[in-house]
Structure 1
Amino acid sequence: MPHNPFAKQPDTYVKKKEYTFTKTLGEGTFGIVRSAKWNAADPPINVAVKVISKKILKGHDEIVQDEMDVLKGLDQPHVVKFLDWFESKDKYYLVFEEASGGELFDRILQRGRFTEGDACRTIRAVLSAIQYLHHHNIVHRDVKPENILYRTKEEDANVVLVDFGIAKHLKAEDEVLTNVCGSFGYAAPEILAKKGHGKAVDMWSLGIITYTMLCGYTPFRSDDPDKLAAETQRGKIEFHDRYWKNVSPAAKEFVKSCLTVDPSKRLTADEAMKHKWLTENRTETEASHDLSLGLRENYRKRWKTAINAVRASTKFRTFAALAADGKTGPSESGDEGTGAAAADGEEEGRISPPTKSELYSESSSRDGEVEDADYLTGDEGEDARTSQGQANGDAKDVGESGVKGLVNKLQGAKVSS
């Protein structure tokens, strides 16, 4: 149904008056995340509000409903809490607890010393979230450092798993998903090979995070997307002595068990929870050796820059693929080029990247009163524009063919999950 700028506001829109919106926390596939105070709570609390433009959805509003269905009822210390939702004529607003302590690796770099014992405790916390989801037949499908946040800035703050935008609630324990989705560098080999996937993809992503946390760089490091996909599907893991000599054999075995190419042989969340690396006491060397040097030397300067450069050009692609799942007709043609081309166009039933005005503004209501705008002003807006411009500039350095290769791998042909 075409968007009607003169339509009456939905009934739930009255809830927006309960919130005082402040800064924009980030931008992503769906739109933006804004910080707000929920004044109706007793006492008022700070929250993060995910703002999704309906124009981006192009009638596929079930994508938002699916995310809410996944989140409703979840209650685990390391899974972000979904609190409320409402909508306007132009947008959906999903309200979450605010995790204000920073991203996983950024926080590690800020704190300085970080030992294998610290890594073990952190991975165990993230794994407990994955295990909880899997027990509820939910696959997150986008486990990565940017989606692991600290709840507060306190030294002993918990980590929480966030962003369930492409999570899937399985209809059956053995349901096989076939759409190509995930994030550059963390997607499992069976996703890239389009062989069908399930819960095991989250364990692969956890293995990538664990490897990177222990040495500062990822196991598969090509900045060419096609070569990275090939490396991922080969699954050859190396432990270079310079960064791994003080890491325990148990940690290496845990990593290899998570990064097993065959998903049927990969550690499950339940098996991982019982792994000796997570259950046995550390030796004195393992407990004292500082791992943060590797992250300082490698992650920030090399890997994260390369990853962000490619993601800047492709961040709307996986969302477009999700919208196509079963909505525009399944296809097993294997024509990987069509997916990338369609994402950029206005083909019926497909989603195109939104403009800034679509992300940050509301249309006028019937009586001429303009809704509260979700736009950036002043320094905040300039900072965001500068950041986006820099990211787009970085993306050009990756090379056009490399970007297209990644788009093809992470979106692929239109297939149904």
Structure 2
Amino acid sequence: MNQSNNSYFYEIQNRNDALWKRENAHQVLQIVRSLNQDHHQNKIYSINGQDELIQKPHYHLQNQYLISKNKHINLENLILKKTMREHYYGLELSTNYETLLLYGSKDIIDEWYGYIKIYTIQNDFRMNYDFIKLTGKGAHAKVYKIFSKRDNQVYAVKVFKKNNISNKLGLFKEIQILRQLQHKNVIKLNEVYENAKHLYLILDYLPGGELLQAISSAEVYSESVVQELIKNLLQALDYIHQNKILHRDIKPQNLLLRSQANITDLVIADFGLSDEYNIRGEYIFSRCGTIGYIAPEILRNEIYDYKVDVFSVGVIMFMLLTDSSPFGGKDTNEVIKSNLQCNIDFEQLKMAKISTHAYDFVTCLLEQNQNQRPTAYQALQHDWFYLPKMETLQYFSLSLKNIPLLNIKKRPELQNIIISQSPLWNNLCSKITLSDSSKSKNASECISILDDIQDQVQEEETQVDYKYKLRQGSIEENFEEMNDDDFYKYTKSPASLLQIYHLSIKGGRK
């Protein structure tokens, strides 16, 4: 069965390779999941060349592989459908050119379907789910609460409009990473669907909402609560890092709670900027994250490792203990500079009357030098986690008024930078200028926003020109109609550039 070439996954190599492969690459992988046939159950069947059902008792599943005696199938992004043959239930697995049919009793096919569905692509979303309500909306996707007709459970679905996806490789990477992570404090991907216009990522529904919103609704909380919360976060990151993954966007918006009854039972969500660790620093996006939470080595365009996520944990812990951000500033440029230079007012921690171990731990996590910053595993060995409870009974409250991420409506100049969930500095546009004397440059020659700001930091006499500060909404209304001269007018300040780029990644000017 050939898949129509309008599939978002049509060009992926696994869809175009031979279905069965004889390499033994699967044998060296760490086994995260597996499913074997029980000798006492009915067997799995397949079809031979004479269209006859043949028992396949040696078929079994490991991670994303269906394994036979001396060959295997990589299930990732194959097309999955349910089928029937006489009284047998079945599964249909297809590349763009080949199909494998598996049959068996209802129980065994349901079990195999439950295993295989996380790795494959299905096309019958509306047959299996009903929308309940919209729960969130971003630049590239909408999130809905949905009801499963199969198991009567509630889930969340992240819906992407295919025409609005600016980077296929980034989304493929997010899906690939979510499939391999199985941890109680990491968001779980259950299925992926597509139709002609949309992609659907089925995720666990987490009714507790975002961490800071939930914790701020509590009148007070103790240092020991922060201790438990940070411990759970670091344990999840340690697991992610052991699987050679960097998250790169740890922030309050991406920490969700299973329920508001337990504010320490958090789940790391949104792996849109995550990637597999590369010792040479070669990533789909190298300089990415959210200003105010991002490690300074990323802003400085240095080679970095897993410790960038540990720095972000330090920012969150600082906020929980002080009710303020470690990086202050009257405008976006000051916030960027503070983050870049790692200018942190640790006096705020002393004023919070926290334990000495907590103070030492936060300063350890927020260490500017990544070589001296601990890994997630090392951080979990800190003395703070072994304090008697009586030493962590200082109580705090969180008003959120000093947390820019949740105060953006009151500070519109921070809106586009603080909550950005996309890379901020790669290939801004095909033509952009930063000075009156410079000429149009192509994307490969285009100076990045951050490099411009970093030059300002290094040259203290340089003053940022705010002559063309933007009125709220003034660009968005006429963005696609701007000519190069109009576009140049709004590039006088890095803050304006950030706003323009935020619009460009939403599908505007290329």
Letter in 2 for 1:299: N
Match of residue 279 from structure 1? 386
Match of residue 223 from structure 2? 116
Letter in 2 for 1:304: L
Range moving further from structure 2, 237-246 or 200-209 = 237-246
Shift of 1:184: 2.3
Does the CA contact (< 8 Å) of 2:228 and 2:264 recur in 1?
no
Q: Superposed, which structure 2 residues align to 1:5-404 within 5 Å? A: 12-41=122-151, 44-57=152-165, 60-155=167-262, 158-170=265-277, 172=278, 175=281, 177=283, 179-240=286-347, 244-284=351-391, 286-287=392-393, 289-292=394-397, 295-296=398-399, 298-299=401-402, 304-306=406-408, 309-310=412-413, 312-313=415-416, 318=422, 333=445, 335-336=447-448, 401=493, 403-404=495-496
Mapped to 2, the partners of 1:141 and 1:242 lie a distance apart of 25
Shift of 1:132: 0.7
SS at match of 1:132: helix
Shift of 1:87: 0.6
Match of residue 89 from structure 2? none
Letter in 2 for 1:54: K
Against the structure 1 CA distance between its residues 138 and 29, is the aligned structure 2 distance closer, same or farther, given a 3 Å change threshold?
farther
Shift of 1:226: 2.1
Does the CA contact (< 8 Å) of 1:140 and 1:202 recur in 2?
yes
Match of residue 371 from structure 1? none
Against the structure 1 CA distance between its residues 339 and 99, is the aligned structure 2 distance closer, same or farther, given a 3 Å change threshold?
farther
Shift of 1:312: 4.0
Shift of 1:148: 0.6
Structure 1 runs not aligned, ≥5 long: 5-9, 325-329, 341-390, 413-417
Does the CA contact (< 8 Å) of 2:322 and 2:348 recur in 1?
no
Match of residue 481 from structure 2? none
Shift of 1:14: 1.4
Cα deviation, 1:75-103, whole Å, max 9, x if unaligned, reads: 11111111111011111100100111021
Shift of 1:403: 3.0
Mapped to 1, the partners of 2:164 and 2:310 lie a distance apart of 31
Does the CA contact (< 8 Å) of 1:21 and 1:35 recur in 2?
yes
Cα deviation, 1:294-331, whole Å, max 9, x if unaligned, reads: x227436x66324873564356782586799xxxxx97
Shift of 1:406: 4.2
Against the structure 1 CA distance between its residues 210 and 408, is the aligned structure 2 distance closer, same or farther, given a 3 Å change threshold?
farther
Does the CA contact (< 8 Å) of 1:203 and 1:269 recur in 2?
yes
Please provide the CA RMSD for this pair. Answer: 3.8
Letter in 1 for 2:395: D
Does the CA contact (< 8 Å) of 2:247 and 2:271 recur in 1?
yes
Matched length? 341
Does the CA contact (< 8 Å) of 1:47 and 1:97 recur in 2?
yes
Mapped to 1, the partners of 2:426 and 2:194 lie a distance apart of 21
Against the structure 1 CA distance between its residues 223 and 304, is the aligned structure 2 distance closer, same or farther, given a 3 Å change threshold?
farther
SS at match of 2:142: strand
Letter in 2 for 1:290: Y
Cα deviation, 1:226-253, whole Å, max 9, x if unaligned, reads: 2222212222332336873420111111
Q: Which has the higher contact order (CA 8 A, sep 6+)?
A: 1
Does the CA contact (< 8 Å) of 2:427 and 2:448 recur in 1?
no
Against the structure 1 CA distance between its residues 245 and 64, is the aligned structure 2 distance closer, same or farther, given a 3 Å change threshold?
closer
SS at match of 1:67: helix
What fraction of aligned residue pairs are identical, expressed as a percent? 23
Cα deviation, 1:173-197, whole Å, max 9, x if unaligned, reads: 6755462211121111112112233
SS at match of 1:299: coil
Letter in 1 for 2:396: L
Cα deviation, 1:105-155, whole Å, max 9, x if unaligned, reads: 111111212110100101111111111100001111110011111112334
Mapped to 2, the partners of 1:166 and 1:249 lie a distance apart of 34
Shift of 1:332: 6.5
Match of residue 368 from structure 1? none
Structure with the largest fraction of strand: 2
Mapped to 1, the partners of 2:503 and 2:274 lie a distance apart of 16
Against the structure 1 CA distance between its residues 333 and 252, is the aligned structure 2 distance closer, same or farther, given a 3 Å change threshold?
farther
Against the structure 1 CA distance between its residues 122 and 209, is the aligned structure 2 distance closer, same or farther, given a 3 Å change threshold?
same
Normalising to structure 2: TM-score of the pair? Answer: 0.59
Cα deviation, 1:153-178, whole Å, max 9, x if unaligned, reads: 334772101001111122x5675546
Against the structure 1 CA distance between its residues 61 and 336, is the aligned structure 2 distance closer, same or farther, given a 3 Å change threshold?
closer
Cα deviation, 1:2-24, whole Å, max 9, x if unaligned, reads: 979xxxxx972213320111211
Against the structure 1 CA distance between its residues 97 and 225, is the aligned structure 2 distance closer, same or farther, given a 3 Å change threshold?
same
Mapped to 2, the partners of 1:408 and 1:14 lie a distance apart of 38
Mapped to 2, the partners of 1:78 and 1:233 lie a distance apart of 30
Normalising to structure 1: TM-score of the pair? Answer: 0.71
Against the structure 1 CA distance between its residues 392 and 79, is the aligned structure 2 distance closer, same or farther, given a 3 Å change threshold?
farther
